[in-house]
Amino acid sequence: MKVRKCMEKDVAPIMTGYWEKAEFPFDVVPKLGALRIAGGTIKGYGCPGLSITGSAISVAEVARVDASCSTFILVHSSLAMLTIALCGSEEQKNKYLPSLAELSTVACWALTEPDYGSDASALRTTATKVEGGWILEGQKRWIGNSTFADLLVIFARNTSTNQINGFIVKKDAPGLTVTKIENKIGLRIVQNGDIVMKNVFVPDDDRLPGVNSFQDTNKVLAVSRVMVAWQPIGISMGIYDICHRYLKERKQFGAPLAAFQVNQQKLVQILGNVQAMFLVGWRLCKLYEAGKMTPGQASLGKAWITKTARETAALGRELLGGNGILSDFLVAKAFCDLEPIYTYEGTYDINSLITGREVTGLASFKPAASRSQRSRL
């Protein structure tokens, strides 16, 4: 209720304007920081120490009003902060987490590269050991918050071991440049950037000791995938709220739109989707809290919930008629914002294959090797 009150009072009135301009509302950050939800499940170091269920519901309440705002928090909290909490040293946790929990500093998380999205484990950014630290060389793409983040959690390939390591890079590091990605149709408030690193020095103190292979990123992604699944739940809650009010207020043919059977059917379908999505998200949280959640379960939840949310947004757009394509009425904005969420943190297809591998024991991520001999046909 605390999150809902803040979002409805301080955020909802201004977000459409920022969305249209594709600009970030920096004035909102202190208000989000005062909610004490950044850091989510992290205990100590000034973090709230919420259950994953409590953290998930807070994310849903933010997304109910604005998806971009929830993405800003998730990148900062469930990716960057959580990586430091799970993979960082005690010194790093004490140094960085308290200010990040207050949102007095902001972080981003850089794994994806221009040529490696779904195939992230093949990333090419390199980390070369030198006296006193490391030299990073390479590029990252689609990194949310990166244009203004104070800290960048960067993943790079160790040139000595060929394994993936993690590093904390400061925004003013020489050789680091970040360029905003323009012309997005969804999550327009989120400032996604292209990162280029040329001879960027990172001291030994800022190498994350708990990241020694790509598998070490999975313990972070397992939590963040659950949290991301709650974004479309919150978005769909907002769509239902708007449609319910709109159908009762707008009249055609002398009656409220809610009086027409076809509109009631669509509204109830939206409500059913929201309830089903909520229960799947809730189940994931309880499995995680019991230490029983598997990667395949998290991937199935994220894939199915985002697919169902897309259907929900389409129904909401239909119910609002012409107003359904205006961002002022939230549904059109939600319709667009769901598209990147459907893709990031594992596309629908990749998440399906993760679950498929878990239930069949057979991986099908890569195409079968082409035959060297000519076909008899």
Evaluate if residue 205 carries a pLDDT over 90.
Answer: yes
Q: What is the pLDDT of residue 376?
A: 58
| Alpha-carbon span 18 to 263, nearest angstrom | 31
**Domains of the chain, CATH where assigned:** 1-106 (1.10.540.10), 108-208 (2.40.110.10), 214-360 (1.20.140.10)
Model pTM above 0.85: yes
pLDDT, average across residues 342-346: 92
Name the pLDDT band for 168 (thresholds 50, 70, 90): very high
| Alpha-carbon span 70 to 64, nearest angstrom | 9
| Alpha-carbon span 153 to 111, nearest angstrom | 8
CA atoms within 13 A on the CB side of 217: 21
| Alpha-carbon span 18 to 38, nearest angstrom | 22
Q: Which of 117, 75, 42, 47 is nearest to 224 (CA)?
A: 75
Q: Which of 104, 138, 106 is nearest to 122 (CA)?
A: 138
| Alpha-carbon span 244 to 94, nearest angstrom | 47
Name the pLDDT band for 121 (thresholds 50, 70, 90): confident
Alpha helices by DSSP H, 151-214:
none
pLDDT in tens, 264-321: 999 999 999 999 999 999 999 999 999 999 999 999 999 999 999 999 999 999 999 9
Residue whose token pair is 């990123």: 217
